[in-house]
Amino acid sequence: MKLLVTGGAGFIGTNFIRYWLNEYSEDIVINLDLLTYAGNLVNLTDVASTYPQRYTFIQGDILDSVSVSTILKRHKPDVIVNFAAESHNSRAILNPRKFFETNVMGTQVLLDMVRDCEISRFHHISTCEVYGELSLDSSDTFSETAPFKPQTPYNASKAAADHLVNSYYHSFGVPITISNCSNNYGPYQHPEKLIPLFTTNAIQNKSLTLYKSSQNRREWLHVQDHCRAIAAVIHTGQVGETYNIGSGIEKSIEEISDYILDILDKPQALKTYVPDRPGHDCRYLLNSEKIHSELGWKPTISFEEGMKQTIQWYIDNRDWWERIQENSADQVIAEDKWESVINKKR
């Protein structure tokens, strides 16, 4: 099988490419990535040297229909796995347009190109956040048939893309599948995201900045379990179907920070609190029974094991994240200045 992976130099894409090449020894992977601030080819340096005949990198933009068409006709992939997306809620507050351009229009370009080529599957990576939020005391979960109620520009852009992907299946017969996943963590995650941010800050004895609503909860899944789930959908998932991918493990932001500080033996005094980001959702929790019962997938990495491995990875790979922090120093978001940011934008 030959796969075209879009956004393969990002966090989940990197882990997916590494997983796939290791797991399926006859398959070929083409990685198409624009290399924005969140894309990092260093993640795959060893992959390029280990699998020179099975791995190819192409720098390009999924919004460029001519380039995408050329790549598809030249490489003739069997499957496209679309990870390419802007994905940081805080950045979406600052620049919503960019999120809709990449996440919606970029997906539309890919779908149009799939219509022109013999692609056996277009698998779209989405998020639990399209369903909106649950209250902290709710007993509900989000199934695949839950209505979409996105509350941030990022959530809305992903919800729009999901609707778009489904529409191409119903209108044009494009062979699609969609997966909506809970929050991921693991190696190679950009240090602006919660777990690597708190981990790297704690290592450097810097403050861990928590939103005031620090009891808000997320469902956490190790990225390797996510990669296994995507493989299950690609191999045995039904065309036209959506699959939720979650662990059932919920942790609050407060619990995450405490866990990291405890493992690193750092003081609680490192925690500081700031006003909530606009659209800060209370809670997400998926019902993943469909992928359990139909495809036989279940997570295998416990939260405790996965967190210990992840924190150790950031300890062992300090050069990796320090280089990113150095290169992104002028792009740091002031999470304690949301009121002034929103007022300025009005």
Stretch (H or E) spanning 341: helix 338-345
Q: Give the separation between CA 8 and CA 31, rounded to whole angstroms.
A: 5
pLDDT attached to residue 327: 85
List the Cα angle 5/43/4 in 5-degree steps.
Answer: 10
Average pLDDT over residues 24-49: 96
pLDDT band, residue 278 (cuts 50/70/90):
confident
pLDDT band, residue 337 (cuts 50/70/90):
low
Of 160-164, 256-260, 333-337, the one with minimum mean pLDDT is 333-337
- pTM of the complete model: 0.94
**Residues 6 or more apart in contact with residue 344 via CB below 8 angstroms:** none
Q: Say how many C-beta atoms besides its own lie within 10 A of residue 216's C-beta.
A: 19
Sort 267 into a burial class: Cβ within 10 Å, 0-12 / 13-18 / 19+: exposed
pLDDT digits (tens, 9 = 90+) for 41-92: 999 999 999 999 999 999 999 999 999 999 999 999 999 999 999 988 888 9
Q: Please check the confidence at residue 305 and state whether its pLDDT lies above 70.
A: yes
Ranges of each domain in the chain:
2-186+221-248+280-300
Pairing of strands 271-274, 2-6: unpaired
Place of tokens 């992959």: 47
Nearest alpha carbon to residue 87 among 15, 30, 178, 12: 12
pLDDT digits (tens, 9 = 90+) for 173-222: 999 999 999 999 999 999 999 999 999 999 999 999 999 888 889 999 99
pLDDT digits (tens, 9 = 90+) for 106-154: 999 999 999 999 899 999 999 999 999 999 988 999 999 999 999 999 9
Q: Give the separation between CA 13 and CA 298, rounded to whole angstroms.
A: 20
Sort 343 into a burial class: Cβ within 10 Å, 0-12 / 13-18 / 19+: exposed
Q: Give the separation between CA 84 and CA 124, rounded to whole angstroms.
A: 9
Q: Please check the confidence at residue 342 and state whether its pLDDT lies above 80.
A: no
CA dihedral 231, 104, 33, 320 (to 10 degrees): -80
**Residues 6 or more apart in contact with residue 216 via CB below 8 angstroms:** 136, 252, 253, 280, 281, 282, 283
Strands (E), the chain: 2-6, 28-33, 55-59, 79-82, 121-127, 176-181, 183-185, 208-211, 217-222, 242-245, 250-252, 271-274
Domain boundaries 2-186+221-248+280-300, corresponding CATH code = 3.40.50.720
First CA to last CA distance, the chain: 50
φ, ψ of residue 28 in degrees (nearest 5): -120, 140
